Structure 1
Amino acid sequence: MTRWCASSADGDLVAVGGRDVLTAGRHAFGLLDGPGAATAPCRAAGLTAVGEVTLFNAHELRSRLGTDAPPPGCSDTELLLHSYARFGLAGLAATDGMFALAIADGPELVLVRDHTGARTAFYARSGRSWLASTSLRAIHRWPALDTGLNLSAVRSFLTFAYLPGAETLLRGVHEVLPGRCLRLRADTTTAEEVFWEPQELTDARPAAEHAHALRALLEEATARRLPSGEAAAVLLSGGVDSSLVTALATKLHDNPVRTYSISFGDELPNELGYSGLVAAHCHTEHRVLTVAGETVAARLPDTVALLDCPVGDPLTVPNRLLAEAVAGDGMSVVLNGEGGDPVFGGPKNLPMLISELHRDDPDPRARALAYLDSYRKCYADLPALLTGDVLAELGDAPHPAELVAPYLRQGRMHSLLNQLLHANLRTKGAHHILSKVERITAASGLEGRSPLFARPVIDQAFRVPPRWKLAGTTEKWVLKEAVRDLLPATVVDRPKSGMRVPVQQWLAGPLRELGNDLLLSRTTRQRGLVRPDTLRSWLRREGTLLPRHGGKLWLVLTLELWLRSFEVGG
């Protein structure tokens, strides 16, 4: 992974943390130290840029460019610049890939993020100067930047377990949204252009034809993401999404396929029976990694520190251990089954649909508030969790419901199910799932690839009538029908259960000391964000919080670890 910085100013140009610096007009580009940092910023098609670009449809882009295509063997960054220079936003929309790019386009510094958010970029302004980077730490270390803790983002994180929009935990620092082209101007104004957003289309073809079309796109997306000339790795949970990626990889790859699963011990409920069944069915080289609570406790602080924005997912450390195992086996690419739920209608959509049938609240935010409640994180506990000073300061701040309400109104999507999927894709998909995959895999020198998040697959998903995504109570029906011939029926038709992570056992055992030391410490009290009496009660497992107190404590612990890593005060 190449991490980069780009700056734009009327005065002196500075590339923060850059090892290789290239200037273009009032812009400067620098690559941060790390794997791949020897590659210089790119000049092509009259533009200068720096970025992380992986394109999966380079051949199509070359055909579209015709005689304007760059020479064979050019970098993906150069090809993307040529496509942008020739076709503008349409050239970005035509890609299938993962990218975050900063481009000097005349007097403007243009930031581009791929369709779904597989790569991330952040930006901030100080005076008349802009700084952008894939590293939030680099921006945080910018000497000219006057920043601090963003309390609104603290509330959002405790509500969602991630940050679902452009805000970060650093005041004045923002994240580029996926599918966007953001222009940072010398007069300190910005202009955002959308080059891709999923669209709900009416397609009256029979269900079988939709499944057939989807199957072709799934095969194409998987084939494009397989590594060339080496074994392929797939993270296999045993659910239908990772299982279908495994089956397609073994069908389409001309090298061995290795699968990797997690176990938290034989005494806990697990999905190893399903993942083992799929591995045997697909004839993969299968490896099960047992993760002990003691290992999670030891690796949690440095794993949280890898993330530009915290993710309150207890699978983060196990995911990192899996990535290290894959890298240790000598592979550079790892596929996953992420994307099936937010794109095709996984858990939580059915309860929201039932809630809508019985809703009589005229409040236009009622649907968004129900969406927040469905997360079952700390939203309902905020009055008892946050201190009075924080609650008072947040009194006039936008409500967290406003982060999802635009997706849940009639507009681009008319079907409520598609509205929910749109919200899931643009919030959890971009700001939790894909950002976690990118940072965790890159830390081990891997590139994580998600075929179900491919832009053509998503476009097809929103062509499928809602009744064939959620068929009665059967979730992801059309996706299952598209791959039914590839997998055992017991895998295709199994109910969704998800990975059972023993959070409460960890917090009561190997993480008990870390949790108590951090959450009840003087530093945490002096920060003034959360009430010590509430944390003390939760740590003692008192009151009516059970049985979900473990997940809520995990959020607060993750937040505190992140704040300490970034040395952010209250």
Structure 2
Amino acid sequence: MCAIVGLFDMHGMSEPDHSLLERMNASMRHRGPDGGGSHHEPGLGLAHRRLSVIDVSAGHQPMYNEDHSVVLVYNGEIYNFQSLVRELRQYGHVFRTHCDTEVIVHAWEQWGVRCVERFRGMFAFALWDRNAQTLFLARDRLGVKPLYYAQLDHGQLVFASELKALLLHPAMRRTLDPMAVEEYFAYGYVPDPRTILAQARKLPPGHTLCVRKGGGLGAPQPYWDVPFAPVAVASEAQAAEELTARLADAVRMRLVADVPLGAFLSGGVDSSAVVAMMAQCTHEPVNTCAIGFADQRYDESAYARLVASHCATRHHELRLDGDDTGLIDRLATLYDEPFADSSALPTYRVCQLARQRVTVALSGDGGDENLAGYARYRWHVQEERWRARIPALLRRPVCAALGHAYPRAPWLPRPLRAKATLQAMARDTIGAYFHSIAIMDDDARTRLFSPSFKASLGGYRAIDVLRRHAAASPAADPLSQVQYLDLKTYLPGDILTKVDRASMAHGLEVRVPLLDHELVSWISGLPPQMKLKGNEGKHLFKLAMAPYLPDAVLHRPKMGFAVPMAGWVAGPLRPRLQRCAQDGALADSGIFNMDYVRQLVDEQFNGQRDHSAALWSLLMFDCFLRQVLDQPEGAERRAA
């Protein structure tokens, strides 16, 4: 995998700052430890860091066409590059290398902005066409690879694979985006297209950005979306057979590499299915890596070992017997934005373990969103059935009043938590789903923020992210609707961001066959009852994998890749949280009502309420303020 960075004068021909470009590129050396390169011309500077995976001896970037009028820097893999090479040769294009990078250059020459529609893979790239005086930025369909950009005050466009590179630019303002802060404390991450900084943006998945010299920046343009268009299936058995074939094809395409290759194996259905398909496609034993925990409530290592034995893999396991909170400050510098998914810690460790043996690892990410694996999908579908039976004019006021009066009982199983159920019934579809995934609800966020910060929001609420995507959704049924929302928000903003930063910190490339866009498109069109049947999520997937995996793995309770957060908050993190609540970065920011922050801490440690998710999000925001935002420019340059 790689890193890209660029400086582009949109209106003039000023010479880019060569030393600045090199510092920005060097700040992402972890993404590409095998080499770097740069391109300079009036008005433009491009740079690249390389992790060599395919055509190791060639494929250096920036890469050019024959007359050097087109230049490319690129992060990712185009898995169908060999078939594209054959097609482009028929049009007269001549290839000098055997790598996928050169395919993008010639595809641009042949098809222009529509070249992205031909690519099957994960990518973020920047291409300059001197003859057309056009800079073209693109990001893959599902958002596996990141791309940040900002328009600076003097008319320069700056972009990079990570936000830390943009922060090195002296003209980059460090002003926080209040709406991004509101979104972070709702979702635990900042959803696309915002970043935590008001001046910077993420290019959304499935979008391109075309900038012509002398023109304005314009808006990113979509080129793909998850279709949720019905597909024809004769029976469950036929659909399961086709799902297996499509997954095997997606896995097979991702086994092309000139370096050692392996897989993550959590012991869950998704990663186990990927490993099983790898074992079918290769003659050599698959290298698998897993993380184990001393706390049995979070330990899946026994299932991982069962799959490893079943598939005859070379299995490697790292056991975390104590807390791993010493990584917190390191994570803040990796993610550049506040990021509250605590599974970032074990993800970092499993990537560290994998990199000791392989350069490329396949993962099972995307299965829960594609195939309805989350328990919240079951509850949402059931609640939608109840909501449909009661007229909204009656349901909302009555259920709201009953929900307000009913006592809170978070220790009970969800079907018996009448307060939560009644409150959900009082909301509309999007409001109910938002409430089910928010780490801090509307009331808590209102109490968390200071009066001046709330005024800066101007009435904006984080739920607007979901409402915006819901308005554009092609999905019709309740299950597909929330799957679509997660595919647009949680998947790229949390899951894929987590894996990208954790893997790239170790120079490890991670490939995600369950997010092959052709596979995603086909799965999206399956009947909802094939994905969620009764209370069983991933119904068709488990049926398809039955010949390849043990029943004990396919039908075990879902655990998820989590850490014992409540125990960490009560134990090793307690002194740090108490300090955060008294003074320092949180108080100095002016964002927070510190009396409420102290209340959260006191209630947590007095055993009154479990606020561990909210306190973790506050702790990670504190780390971001201290480790990223408050770092002077000189310190960042020395670090780079």
The bucket for the TM-score relative to the shorter chain is over 0.9
* Corresponding residue for residue 219 of structure 1: 248
* Corresponding residue for residue 414 of structure 1: 476
Does residue 462 of the first structure (1) align with residue 524 of the second (2)?
A: yes
**Equivalent-residue separation in structure 1 for 2:616 and 2:172 (angstroms):** 31
Aligned counterpart in structure 2 of residue 53 of structure 1, from 69, 76, 86: 76
Distance change >3 Å, CA 152–CA 217, structure 1 → 2: same
Which piece of structure 1 moves more, 375-384 or 183-192? 183-192
Q: Structure 1, residues 350-379: CA drift from partner, whole Å, max 9, x if none?
A: 222222223355799932222211114013
Q: CA deviation at 1:177?
A: 0.5
**Equivalent-residue separation in structure 1 for 2:427 and 2:119 (angstroms):** 36
**Equivalent-residue separation in structure 2 for 1:433 and 1:311 (angstroms):** 11
Distance change >3 Å, CA 76–CA 24, structure 1 → 2: farther
Letter in 2 for 1:86: Q
Q: CA deviation at 1:223?
A: 1.6
TM-score normalised by length of structure 1: 0.92
* Corresponding residue for residue 79 of structure 1: 103
Q: CA deviation at 1:158?
A: 0.8
* Corresponding residue for residue 117 of structure 1: 143
**Equivalent-residue separation in structure 1 for 2:270 and 2:607 (angstroms):** 32
Provide the secondary structure at the position in 1 that maps to 2:489. helix
Q: Structure 1, residues 188-219: CA drift from partner, whole Å, max 9, x if none?
A: 33143222211122223222222222211100
Aligned counterpart in structure 2 of residue 250 of structure 1, from 279, 303, 320: 279
Letter in 2 for 1:61: L
- Identity, % of aligned positions: 26
Aligned counterpart in structure 2 of residue 166 of structure 1, from 166, 187, 193: 193
Aligned counterpart in structure 2 of residue 504 of structure 1, from 550, 562, 566: 566
Q: CA deviation at 1:440?
A: 0.8
* Corresponding residue for residue 447 of structure 2: 384
Alignment of 1:58-69 (within 5 A): 58-68=81-91, 69=93
Structure 1 gap ranges (5+): none
Letter in 2 for 1:462: S
Distance change >3 Å, CA 369–CA 21, structure 1 → 2: same
Does residue 108 of the first structure (1) align with residue 171 of the second (2)?
A: no
**Equivalent-residue separation in structure 1 for 2:233 and 2:296 (angstroms):** 48
Distance change >3 Å, CA 526–CA 500, structure 1 → 2: closer
Distance change >3 Å, CA 545–CA 149, structure 1 → 2: farther
Q: CA deviation at 1:305?
A: 1.1
Distance change >3 Å, CA 483–CA 107, structure 1 → 2: same
CA contact (8 A) 1:222 1:451 kept: yes
* Corresponding residue for residue 416 of structure 2: none
Q: CA deviation at 1:266?
A: 4.8
CA contact (8 A) 1:4 1:29 kept: yes
CA contact (8 A) 1:233 1:334 kept: yes
Does residue 41 of the first structure (1) align with residue 62 of the second (2)?
A: yes
**Equivalent-residue separation in structure 2 for 1:167 and 1:191 (angstroms):** 13
**Equivalent-residue separation in structure 2 for 1:21 and 1:215 (angstroms):** 43
* Corresponding residue for residue 311 of structure 2: 282
Alignment of 1:373-452 (within 5 A): 373-380=435-442, 381-397=444-460, 399-409=461-471, 412-452=474-514
Structure 2 gap ranges (5+): 26-36, 397-425, 632-640
**Equivalent-residue separation in structure 2 for 1:139 and 1:340 (angstroms):** 33
Distance change >3 Å, CA 90–CA 11, structure 1 → 2: closer
Distance change >3 Å, CA 310–CA 96, structure 1 → 2: farther
CA contact (8 A) 2:21 2:45 kept: no
Paired residues, what number? 565
CA contact (8 A) 2:77 2:121 kept: yes
* Corresponding residue for residue 321 of structure 1: 349
Letter in 2 for 1:12: S
Distance change >3 Å, CA 346–CA 70, structure 1 → 2: farther
**Equivalent-residue separation in structure 1 for 2:271 and 2:603 (angstroms):** 35
* Corresponding residue for residue 637 of structure 2: none
Alignment of 1:2-401 (within 5 A): 2-9=2-9, 10-14=12-16, 16-18=20-22, 20-23=37-40, 26-31=43-48, 39-44=60-65, 46-68=69-91, 69-71=93-95, 73-105=97-129, 106-126=132-152, 127-185=154-212, 186-206=214-234, 207-226=236-255, 228=257, 232-266=261-295, 268-294=297-323, 296-329=324-357, 331-347=358-374, 348-359=376-387, 360-361=391-392, 366-380=428-442, 381-397=444-460, 399-401=461-463
Letter in 1 for 2:533: A
Provide the secondary structure at the position in 1 that maps to 2:119. coil
**Equivalent-residue separation in structure 2 for 1:301 and 1:292 (angstroms):** 20
* Corresponding residue for residue 626 of structure 2: 564
